[in-house]
Structure 1
Amino acid sequence: MSGADWKQVHADDFRVPPHLSLAEMTEELTVMLGDTDPDRRDGTAYPTLATWVERGVYDDLLPGLGDGMVAGLSVGLGEQGTDSVFRRAFSVLVLAECISRDNARPLVLGGKVLQWGDAIATWLLREQDLRGYVPGKGWAHAIAHGADALRVLAASPHLGKPELTVVLDVIADRLLMPGSEPLMHGEPDRLVNATFAVLRRGSVPMTVLEPWANRIAAGASPYSRARDSDPFLPTSDAQSFLRALYLRLALGSRPPTVRADLMLVLVGLLRETNPSFRTP
């Protein structure tokens, strides 16, 4: 289909063209998820696939579509600064739409959703391209999109306490990855959104949350680092996350039941990791 044909689909409120093959259109849209033109990638391919998933166009095909998006997570994985990041970053968004559809209306076996969750976690921890906005090509934002997928995954009824604890561990692992470039495009906030989705399930107790927060805080203090290199580079992600989580708990709507207890823990950790704030 030409660009004009896809614009007509949008103009028709994303109605599926009845005279065309859904399989062929899906294949074309999947390839477009990796396009370097943002108008084709996140202006055409992603909203079309997302809308069709949400409206049930793929209800009978959802496992296959999700598996196709999982395959997209491995395209060029490990590369830095190449265009392959777009295919990975937008495949995970469509995979999140598949999970969201199942959250709203059970369509996929629980084992399949857990497979998708494992694929998201594995990819997120192996992703090396941390760019946010790429001049001339638009948003890559792989880590932010991965966080969005974790947020949707955490709302799945197929996840219980063990799986939700793993989601938290993946978030901590990503924040504490050694040698990683600092996340500078709102990714810690998006990881907080995923954390909130876990907390709102009410399944993970403070006996798990407190050591999890302490683990992140252990990597959040630049003042405990040797001064032979910039101590703020390896600690900025964890510090930004702790601050954002505290702010979200303080200001956010629909707070989780652990709000008060977790805020007390965070206050102590922020005091420990920000000693300059205590100086007169």
Structure 2
Amino acid sequence: MIDSGLGVPSDRPLADLTAELTAMLGSADPAERDRTAYPTLATWIDRGVYDDLLAGLGDGIAAGLATGLGESGTDTVFRRSFSALLLGECIARDSRRALVPGGKILDWGDRIVSWYLRERDDRGFVDGKGWAHAVAHGADAIGMLADSPHLAAPELTVLLDVLADRVLTPGGRLLVSGEPDRIAEATLRVLRRNALPLAVVEPWVRRVAARATAYPSETQDPYRVTGNPEAFLRALHLQLALAPDPPQMRPDLLLVLVDALRQTNPGLRARR
């Protein structure tokens, strides 16, 4: 299939091909998962191959979010992580073509959010097996969900809170595989809807910043507590400042972020 430009083979039923590729999303072999199953299914979704079947396809993919949920350090993370990414592709396709009822998109969104908050395997790159990247893929899926016209201000507020909850998850590892940048990208997609006022977003920033200054006792590495929220605030500030298509609140939100970063970086405060 890769050699044929990801065209749909004509010698086998589409249902059989889909089942085989969906199962491969959980493979520990990156050649099967990253370089075959995911790009093939994502391309077929984008090209409209599943337009008449999108509701059923999305439901089938969403089932993968529950595979081994609660485990950490096992290969089940691949199925969950890549299912989230692919379900986001289904939502993105609907945003372009309006193929499924709004209730279905909201159901998929609920399933993504529920999985993302409960996911405990936060590994990035796994030696010999490639990218697990559940935290990054979940952020990508939430970003695609934020673009859906079926979501209004209440749902977008929930998405912001979910992203913050993921950044503030206690006891996790430091996110050093680009996850803060991906969460910041998802945040900008929420804000680009221009549906949320600064009165909602500013306290949300303050909540993240409060953890970035919550230094623990001298017996604990402070960066295990403050590192992820600090990295996220920096990523969001940079992306907001450089975005070619910023949300309308950019000027005001930049001031809020600068103030938060000054609070979390005492060396940058004005000297008197």
TM-score by length of 1: 0.94
- Amino acid aligned to 2:175: L
Q: What is the RMSD of the two structures over their aligned residues, measured on CA atoms?
A: 1.2
Aligned counterpart for 1:87 among listed residues 76, 79, 82: 79
Task: Quote the offset at 1:232 in angstroms.
Answer: 1.2
Q: Is residue 262 from structure 1 mapped to residue 253 from structure 2 by the alignment?
A: yes
Instruction: For 1:212-223, list aligned pairs within 5 A.
Output: 212-222=204-214
Aligned counterpart for 1:205 among listed residues 191, 197, 206: 197
Instruction: For 1:1-280, list aligned pairs within 5 A.
Output: 9-222=1-214, 224-278=215-269
Alpha-carbon separation, structure 2, partners of 1:255 and 1:59: 31
TM-score by length of 2: 0.97
Q: Answer whether contact 2:192 2:248 (CA < 8 A) is retained.
A: yes
Alpha-carbon separation, structure 2, partners of 1:11 and 1:92: 26
Alpha-carbon separation, structure 2, partners of 1:63 and 1:76: 24
Which SS does the other structure have where 1:56 is aligned?
coil
Q: Answer whether contact 2:263 2:269 (CA < 8 A) is retained.
A: no
- Give 1:3's aligned residue: none
Task: Quote the offset at 1:225 in angstroms.
Answer: 3.1
Task: Quote the offset at 1:19 in angstroms.
Answer: 2.5
Spell out, residue by residue over 1:243-274, the C-alpha distance to the aligned partner (whole angstroms, 9 max, x if none): 11111111221111100100111111111111
Q: Answer whether contact 2:81 2:132 (CA < 8 A) is retained.
A: yes
- Amino acid aligned to 2:27: D
Which SS does the other structure have where 1:210 is aligned?
helix
Q: Answer whether contact 1:180 1:234 (CA < 8 A) is retained.
A: no
Task: Quote the offset at 1:279 in angstroms.
Answer: 7.9
Which SS does the other structure have where 1:235 is aligned?
helix
Task: Quote the offset at 1:226 in angstroms.
Answer: 2.6
Q: Answer whether contact 2:216 2:225 (CA < 8 A) is retained.
A: no
- Give 1:5's aligned residue: none
Alpha-carbon separation, structure 2, partners of 1:225 and 1:207: 30
Q: Flag structure 2 segments of 5+ consecutive residues without an equivalent.
A: none
Q: Answer whether contact 1:69 1:91 (CA < 8 A) is retained.
A: yes
Which SS does the other structure have where 2:144 is aligned?
helix
Spell out, residue by residue over 1:61-94, the C-alpha distance to the aligned partner (whole angstroms, 9 max, x if none): 1111111111100101111111111111111111
- Amino acid aligned to 2:147: A
Task: Quote the offset at 1:236 in angstroms.
Answer: 0.8
Q: Answer whether contact 1:75 1:87 (CA < 8 A) is retained.
A: yes
